[in-house]
Amino acid sequence: MGVETSAAWQALNVHCDSGAGSTHLSQLFEDNTRTERFSIELDEMYVDFSKNRITDETLGLLFNLAKQQDLSGWIKKLLCGEKVNDTEDRAVLHTALRAQGMGVDCFAKEVQPLVAEQLAKMGKIVDKIRAGHWRGYSGKPITDVVNIGVGGSDLGPLMITNSLQTIKSPVNLHFISSIDGTQTSNLLKKLSQETTLFILASKSFSTIDTLSNAETAKDWLREKVKSEKTLLAQHFLGVSTKPDMMTEWGIPPENQLVFWDWVGGRYSLWSAIGLPIALQIGMDGFSELLSGAHLMDSHFGTAPLEKNIPVLLGLIDVWNVNFLGIHDKAILPYDARLKYVPSYFEQLVMESNGKSVNRAGERVQYKTCPVLWGEVGPNAQHAFYQLLHQGTQPVMCDFIAPVERDDFDMSSHAEKDESLSYQHELAMANCFAQSRVLMLGDDAIPDALKAAFDSPFKHYPGNQPSNTILLKTISPKTLGMLVALYEHKTFVEGVIWEINSFDQWGVELGKLIAKETHAAIKSVALAEKFDASTASLIKRITK
């Protein structure tokens, strides 16, 4: 019997059918006190979840559901390092990576020395490169570092370094991920072998995308570097859970940083996978990032359900998905530095909860993960917001914005600073205006303009729920908090839906079949055994 037949779920169904599901947000906002009740502040983060179609009763029933699903028990299991990833028989301890020795228990405590050892090794490498003491084959200091990785071995460092772009890195950072080689060939044309260092980042060390890009990089270095030993020792670092495979590939042990199978790929930016971040912001900055995430971990582990931000946002998503029938979520950061946040959350959330089989191996009878997408908000306004305002499907939105920008250079260019502050105000005005119009619809139209909007084409239904997350500034600490919030929120949803949020079997078959397909591209006779469409596509490209 799945959760959908349980008493707590049924009570939510009844609540929804008896009016809660059909009350418009503009009606709910007749109560002026709701934002005070449905918002929460934690350190440098403020979360307003009042623009959701919820009441105190809805939340009460959602907390009953959480209790019924033993959410508190699951949170303890996760943070203690019990094997909550049961299909892979593994603990899930990304939280132990950011504890920096503080406030952890059980297995999470045991792994602290391992974590500290790798952080110390990473620190030495980072300091050496940042100080210009890491030299290429000709003796020149390294100026460019290229991270080769994909998915969790790419998106985390890419997203964080881009978000913190105003912290100037002493080396130029680059990211290549895509298997087609375009990024690699474009980038290598601009770099010099003498001063380029590659980070080969792969949890499994068997991802063809990453290994093929790394081979291309190796060949490029070979054009100039005669000694293979020098090439590998001075131009490659490896980050993986597989030291033996890194050694076999040629990366010397002193250039290897390891992490462990209890760190999921999409949860790995806190490990040595975060090396590019530390190269940009230094180890102190990296430590602040970890501290921000740890702050959220402590909150998640100790705050009562009613005041627990990841729990609240996770339960509200469940309400939206399973009771209000909202199956899309847009991630809308109102600061261009957060450009990669939507892609990062797409992997985090959809690779974690894009599942249809519960922990017992049975097909679930309810919806799970919503489809997530997003874009920098102000740009998205001129692209897909039309659908949010007047399309036929409901979409829930997460607006994310910094309260202040502390990155304008106040010492000079006073005029420029003023204009940038002005632009920040404009961005915030747009952020708040959009969430308001999405909520109120026609009710947001000022009286004086009502006549001008009197047309079916200018009708705004509103009632689109949203959360607004304000960060004091965009800093390592607030980014740590934000990412950890989404990680835990994703876990909360997985617990309610009775799925394992930490495996990703869905992506494995495609990888296997790609190998078979590649063999058929090499030897086209093999394509005959495929379906007609695939065989014909292969023939077209092999002509």
Using CB under 6 A, pick the residue from 471, 496, 504, 527 that binds ligand F6P.
504
Q: Assess 156 for contact with ligand F6P (CB under 6 A).
A: no
Q: Assess 23 for contact with ligand F6P (CB under 6 A).
A: no
How far is 473 from 49, CA to CA, in rounded Å?
20
Stretch in the footprint of ligand F6P (CB under 6 A) among 35-43, 146-154, 338-346, 480-488: 146-154
Structure tokens at 421: 């502050």
Structure tokens at 333: 């950061």
Q: Assess 265 for contact with ligand F6P (CB under 6 A).
A: yes
For 389, other C-beta atoms within 10 Å of its C-beta total 17
What values do phi and psi take at 469, rounded to 5? Answer: -110, 115
Q: Which of residues 471-490 bind ligand F6P (CB under 6 A)?
A: none
Cα distances (angstroms) measured from residue 57 to each of 17, 345, 396, 505, 510: 13, 30, 20, 38, 44
Q: Which is nearer to ligand F6P, 151 or 333 (CB)?
A: 151
Nearest 10 degrees: Cα torsion 486, 487, 490, 495: -140
Are 439 and 508 in contact by the 8 Å Cβ rule? The answer is no
Q: Which is nearer to ligand F6P, 265 or 402 (CB)?
A: 265
Please pick, among 168, 189, 226, 382, the residue that the annotation labels catalytic. 382
Are 369 and 493 in contact by the 8 Å Cβ rule? The answer is yes
Stretch in the footprint of ligand F6P (CB under 6 A) among 33-41, 149-157, 370-378, 402-410: 149-157
Using CB under 6 A, pick the residue from 203, 218, 337, 424 that binds ligand F6P.
203
Using CB under 6 A, pick the residue from 81, 136, 151, 238 that binds ligand F6P.
151
Stretch in the footprint of ligand F6P (CB under 6 A) among 198-206, 247-255, 411-419, 450-458: 198-206
Q: Which is nearer to ligand F6P, 157 or 310 (CB)?
A: 157
Using CB under 6 A, pick the residue from 414, 507, 514, 519 that binds ligand F6P.
507
Tell me the site size for ligand F6P, rule CB under 6 A: 14
Q: Assess 213 for contact with ligand F6P (CB under 6 A).
A: no
Q: Write the CB contacts of 152 (distance below 8 Å, at least 6 apart in sequence).
A: 203, 264, 265, 266, 267, 268, 269, 273, 347
Q: Which is nearer to ligand F6P, 350 or 397 (CB)?
A: 350
Cα angle at 336 between 475 and 395, to 5 degrees?
Answer: 105
How far is 170 from 276, CA to CA, in rounded Å?
11
- The nearest distance, CB 362 to ligand F6P, in angstroms, is 24
Q: Which residues bind ligand F6P (CB under 6 A)?
A: 150-153, 202-204, 207, 210, 265-266, 351, 504, 507
